[in-house]
Amino acid sequence: MTPEHLDSLRRIKMFRKLRDGDLRAALSIMAERHFDSGSVVFHQGATGDTLVVVMDGILRVEVTDHEGVTATVGTIQAGEVVGEMAVIDPAPRSASVIAATDVLLLELSRDGLERLRKASPSATAGIVGGIIGDVTRRLRNVNKRIDAELDPEQTGAHGVPKKTALADRKVHPDEEEGGLFKRLWQKIAG
């Protein structure tokens, strides 16, 4: 791995809180992968156990519905991560990820994360914390969109909720930023 990889990882939110030694430990267990434009990185429905960090290039995210209709739902740029849930939960992939250009990726597998846990527990805690933070943020965004769909009168421009019933209620400690997940991770990391 190159010093440029280390610098690039430092700028990615999931790795930002890692100290230099932990970042080097994480980088040492990641595999460098190259994909030509048009190559499939992840197949929708396949069981996965890796996440990838895009170091160079662009990935396209596609979803195929039950009728076989495929739609592009997003892109993943250099400096972004995709597939992070698979490192924690081996559920089927929710989308296909295809190289839109030639890409350079750093891949972290569940086995690699387990090796890292033994070698550098603090690096593992930082990465898992980053994954949990990303998932929590996405769930909040989904909740806002669901609230907007259920109560269109409370929706402003571009479908952004003006004020939701969720925003008006007191937040349970488990729903605070990472509350439940932080306690679960503390028990797991023990």
**Percentage, residues of the chain above pLDDT 90:** 53
Confidence category of residue 152, pLDDT binned at 50, 70, 90: low
At 144 the pLDDT is 84
Instruction: Quote the tokens at residue 98.
Output: 């295809």
Report how far residue 166's alpha carbon sits from residue 189's, in angstroms, rounded to the nearest whole number: 31
Query: What are the boundaries of each domain within the chain?
Result: 3-113, 121-189
β strands within 67-124, DSSP E: 70-76, 81-82, 96-99, 103-109
Q: How many CB atoms lie within 10 A of CB 166?
A: 14
At 166 the pLDDT is 43
**Under a CB-based contact definition with an 8 Å cutoff, are residues 10 and 16 in contact?**
yes
Cross-strand bridge partners of residue 71 = 63
Q: How many CB atoms lie within 10 A of CB 66?
A: 5
Give the pLDDT mean for 174-188. Answer: 52
Q: What is the pLDDT of residues 88-123, one digit of tens each?
A: 888 899 999 999 999 999 999 999 999 999 999 999
Confidence category of residue 175, pLDDT binned at 50, 70, 90: very low
Q: What is the pLDDT of residues 23-73, one digit of tens each?
A: 999 999 999 999 999 999 999 999 999 999 999 999 999 999 999 999 999
pLDDT higher than 90, residue 16: no
**Under a CB-based contact definition with an 8 Å cutoff, are residues 52 and 83 in contact?**
yes
Report how far residue 101's alpha carbon sits from residue 164's, in angstroms, rounded to the nearest whole number: 40
At 133 the pLDDT is 86
**Residue 117 Cα to chain centre, angstroms:** 19
Q: What is the pLDDT of residues 124-133, one digit of tens each?
A: 999 999 888 8
Report how far residue 150's alpha carbon sits from residue 165's, in angstroms, rounded to the nearest whole number: 11
At 189 the pLDDT is 57
Selecting from 3.50.30.30, 2.40.160.20, 2.60.120.10, 3.50.50.60, what CATH number does the domain 3-113 have? 2.60.120.10
pLDDT higher than 70, residue 85: yes
Q: Across all residues in the chain, what is the average pLDDT?
A: 83
184 against 22, higher pLDDT: 22
At 158 the pLDDT is 55
Q: What is the pTM of this model?
A: 0.74
Eight-state DSSP code of residue 11: T
